[in-house]
Structure 1
Amino acid sequence: MAEIQNVVLLSVDALRADHLSFHGYERDTSPFLADLASDAVSFDRAISPSSHTREAVPALLTGRYPDTFANNGYRLVRSSVGDRLSAAGYATAAFHSNPYVSRAYDFDSGFDVFDDNLMLGQNRLVALFERFLNKFVLNKGEYHTRAEEINEQSLGWIDGLDDGPFFLWNHYMDTHGPYNPPVGFDRFSERSVSNSDAQRLYQKSIKEPENVTKEENRLLIDLYDGEIRYLDAQLRHMIDGLDERGLLEDTLVILTADHGDGFDEHGYYTHPRRLHEELLRVPLLVLHPDRDPKRVEKLVSTLSVVPTILAAAGGQDDTLPRDDLFAEIEDESDGSRTVFASATGEDGDVRRFAVRDRRYKVVIERRLDDGEIVSETGFDLHADPGEQEQIREFDGRLTELHDQLYTFGNTRLGTVDAEMEAEKLDSEIEDRLEVLGYK
């Protein structure tokens, strides 16, 4: 049995599973990931615990439910896998360019090197301004670090290490809007667009989704698919880089996404704080030296990523809500397996909860102040995979799931504290940046 020395976590922002070739998408968006899936343990039904970065990424890094962070101004308020592996003697590094999971929100905790593409300081408002500055002044329209540079930085860091185990986290922003794939990867769209045109179209899809034409909708999807194709090529370079360094023989590699993106399936674009499948179902591939390739149809949560890493590193945490992925594979009691997700409403007054099994799904929206139910709906995902036919009267399995979700919500409502109120003040700055095209 090979000993796991290193851990590499590759997460992608806004990458929905059903736009990937190996998940049945009609376009060849991800030839490398299709190859990788044949060599990995591939989870067909992986569900994110939330639909947007500020709750999904901290959950991914800690293995804890998203409300833990939403209730505390979206700071990383619990020990992350970086903290744990650093304490165990691992060299640790992270490379990304998303200010919402930056050092301004304490995400640098536990990392020896933490490159979040921030240039001026630690303050969270400064972090937002830096992102604007980077987009419009320094990089001529690019608002994030491209995957090619992330790979170069992270592989360079690996090359500079002494002997000993390491943990690397790369978070790629390429599939996050505004969508405008590099030249050569815009093969799915009939025309190229400028960065400013891509930004205008993206902003229109957010602010005026009802006014997006069929042609514009098609263009948004075409550009998004091109971004996936670009990212796929860069992920090939990253995995090849690990292989060329002889690291795949003793390294656990996990590839997943924080959430997906919507394209008017339910009247919105991008990833607002809703809980539809296009936002929650994400890819999940695991390369483990001791595990044979396998396609897994069991329903799993990306909350299991941290337990899987801890198990590979020789540790565990019984306080985490999910088991490691390989223990879940071996669990024979799949008939009643469920996963939960949640998202705090944009105004911070409500929280949406979802629970699903292989067939059914229930969504409840509750007020944070008194727990009052605002709405509750069910879906039969076998008969209605697009979640277009709401079920209002529950019976049988839907009743069981509803009761589970109601109980789950009672334990997860929490209260929004002063830090959240400070975030609301921050949103004024965000609104001003939005006028300039920041969002």
Structure 2
Amino acid sequence: MINRPRALLPVGAICTMALVACARKEDPKPAQGLPSSSSASATSPAAAASTDKPATQGNPQASSSAEAGRNALNVVLITIDCLRADMPWAGYPKPIAPRLTEFASKAVEYTHAYSLSSYTSMSVGGFLSGRLPGELKRDGYFFGTYAKENLFFPELLQDAKIYTSGAHAHGYFKKSGLEQGFDSWELVPNLKWNNTTDENITSPELEAIAERQLSDPRADSGRFFAWVHFLDPHDKYMTHDGISWGKTQRDRYDGEITFTDRYVGKLLDFIASRPWASRTAIIITADHGEAFGEHKQYVHGFELWENLVRVPLLVSLPGATARKIDTPRSAIDLAPTIVDLFGLTPPDSFLGKSLVPEVRGTAADPRDILIDLPATSDNDRKRAFIHGNLKVIASGEADLPQVFDIKEDPGELTPIRGTDASKEIVALYKERQKPLQDVPPTKCKEGCLNGGYRKK
């Protein structure tokens, strides 16, 4: 979930959410390859979208497209904390998640999906708003509280009389500001609070809460959006009876994945038993990955390396054919996708684009990826930009960039310096930054680190 840094960890060590993916038959229309490193993406969300928040929230208008009726579905969003991209359906050799693997085999899998940040508070605030977290009004503390002035997509659904529910298992969600737009917002009761780790086992109670919310008459008689966030893969990696993959930290994490997988499967079975199952889209994803020694880091947060921000993304949509889409996509697209699935028009404030057309079979055009870690009371600002095979990581107030070829060097071990390609990608990154409007924190202005908020 979301932890503050431990003083003894060298680079930082905190964990939050991640996503899921698997092998199956190829896209009927072959997935587009990655764009070349020298060509700019004309459809970049940062380049094309307005950064101004709508003056009023208003009631969203029904989509006028021919797809509106077909997209008038229910949506269940399942996010799994700290779920890395390297899961069994993506080639990991241990069968640690049989139910998720089964789901992946029947879904549209995005093989190169990215979270919006590397820990929960920032990632979740971003995907709920359809914007980068640094563009949102927030207090600036590590366990950040978001202001009511931010527009989160569940508010649009609520305005359209769609029942909205959220089920969570970390104390941060109690007063985070993330509950805006939810009719039902419940946490597992009696959680033990520890701001450096998570010592609770919550999947059984969380799944029961989700079943109860989805049994609400408003879900049975109308339309609904449900968000369920499973937390158990978060460190501290707890042990569970009958589950053991070994004694290393990764082995214990794998055991947590297996335990969580059981309850995700139980929830999927419940959904399949409901009369509205055939009218319901299911998205399984998360907000970040996890580190097991990469770059001398453990758990998550503080950095934007691939193992922290590349996550699985699975979409099961009525009528959509299971396949892989290799074109990179970002959690910035979740808000417009979910709004579109309800037959509503996404507002101009969303930076991403709906994935619904390509999930249904159209070609997936290349788009650039932006990942944002705003400065907080506990970390400097970092931002990452991915264009084709090249990735820029820029740190702090000076925005000093490193460039990596993540296809040839997926571990990001050797920065590229002084080449025409590295100069071009840095220039493109700076150009993509221009439409973005960084919002300074409202409370820790003197306590927030670097990133334009306080000089060291």
TM score, norm. by length of structure 1: 0.78
Residue 179 of structure 1 pairs with residue 237 of structure 2? yes
Q: Which residue of 1 aligns with 2:81?
A: 13
Preserved CA contact (<8 Å) 2:135 2:437? no
Q: Which amino acid aligns with 2:131?
A: R
2:58 maps to what in 1?
none
- Which residue of 2 is the match for residue 60 of structure 1? 127
1:30-429 superposed matches below 5 A: 30-69=97-136, 72-73=139-140, 74-77=144-147, 78-100=150-172, 102-117=173-188, 131-132=192-193, 143-144=199-200, 146-162=202-218, 163-185=221-243, 187-190=244-247, 219-317=248-346, 318-327=348-357, 334=365, 337-345=367-375, 347=377, 350-367=380-397, 372-373=398-399, 375-396=400-421, 398-412=422-436, 414-421=438-445
RMSD: 2.7
Aligned length, in residue pairs = 372
Residues 1:423 and 1:36: Cα distance change in structure 2 (over 3 Å): farther
For 1:266, what is the secondary structure of its paired residue?
Answer: helix
Give the secondary structure class of the aligned counterpart of 2:443: helix
**Structure 1 residue 22: Cα displacement:** 0.5
- The more displaced of 414-423 and 5-14 is 414-423
Name the CA shift for 1:175/1:259 in 2 (closer, same or farther; >3 Å): same
SS in 2 for 1:105: coil
Note the alpha carbon deviations across 1:212-249, whole angstroms, 9 max, x for none.
Answer: xxxxxxx1111001111111121111111100113320
Alpha-carbon distance in 1 for matches of 2:145, 2:367: 30
Cα displacement (A) at 1:403 = 1.6
Question: What secondary structure is seen at the aligned counterpart in 2 of 1:95?
Answer: strand
1:309 aligned counterpart, secondary structure:
helix
Q: How far apart are residue 422 of structure 1 and its match?
A: 9.0
Deviation at 1:307, TM superposition (A): 0.8
Structure with higher RCO (Cα < 8 A, 6+ apart): 2
Which structure 1 segments of 5+ residues have no match?
Answer: 120-129, 191-218, 425-439
Q: 1:7 to 1:333 in 2, by over 3 A?
A: closer
Per-residue CA deviations over 1:293-337 (Å, capped at 9, x if unaligned) read: 121111100111111111110112233111111345667574x53
Q: Which amino acid aligns with 2:214?
A: I
Query: Is the 2:377–2:444 Cα contact (8 Å) retained in structure 1?
Result: no
CA apart distance, 1:46: 0.4
Normalising by the residue count of structure 2, what TM-score does the alignment of the two structures yield? 0.75
**Per-residue deviation at 1:415?**
4.9
**2:136·2:439 contact (CA, 8 Å) conserved in 1?**
no
Q: 2:137 touches 2:146 (CA, 8 Å); kept in 1?
A: no
CA contact (8 A) 1:175 1:228 kept: yes
Is the 8 Å Cα contact of residues 253 and 288 (structure 1) preserved in structure 2?
yes
Q: Say if 1:3 and 1:250, in contact at 8 Å, map to a contact too.
A: no
What CA deviation, in whole Å up to 9, does each residue of 1:361-407 have, x standing for no partner?
Answer: 1111131xxxx23x3111111211111111122423x3332122223
Aligned equivalents of 1:349 and 1:267: distance in 2? 17
Greater percentage in helix? 1
Q: Deviations over 1:323-361 (max 9, x none)?
A: 111345667574x53111011245567421111134111
Letter in 1 for 2:158: S
CA distance in 2, matches of 1:152, 1:423: 40
Given that 1:69 and 1:75 are in contact with CA atoms closer than 8 Å, whether structure 2 keeps it comes out as: no
1:153 aligned counterpart, secondary structure: helix
Q: State the alpha-carbon separation in 2 of the partners of residues 107 and 302 from structure 1.
A: 16
Asked if structure 2 preserves the Cα contact closer than 8 Å seen for 1:2 and 1:289, the reply is: no
Q: What letter corresponds to residue 265 of structure 1 in structure 2?
A: E
- How far is 1:70 from its partner? 7.0
The 3-state SS of whatever aligns with 1:258 is coil
Alpha-carbon distance between aligned partners in 1 of 2:305 and 2:233, rounded to the nearest angstrom? 19
**Cα distance, 1:250 vs structure 2:** 0.2
Aligned residue number for residue 24 of structure 2: none
C-alpha spacing 1:261/1:333, structure 2 compared with 1 (3 Å): closer
Q: Can you give the 5+ residue segments of structure 2 that lack an aligned partner in the other structure?
A: 1-68, 449-456
**Alpha-carbon offset, residue 157 of structure 1:** 2.0
Distance 1:403 1:422, change over 3 A: closer
Return closer, same or farther for 1:407/1:26 CA change in 2, 3 Å cut-off: same
Q: Alpha carbons of 1:76 and 1:144: their partners in 2 closer, same or farther (altered >3 Å)? A: farther
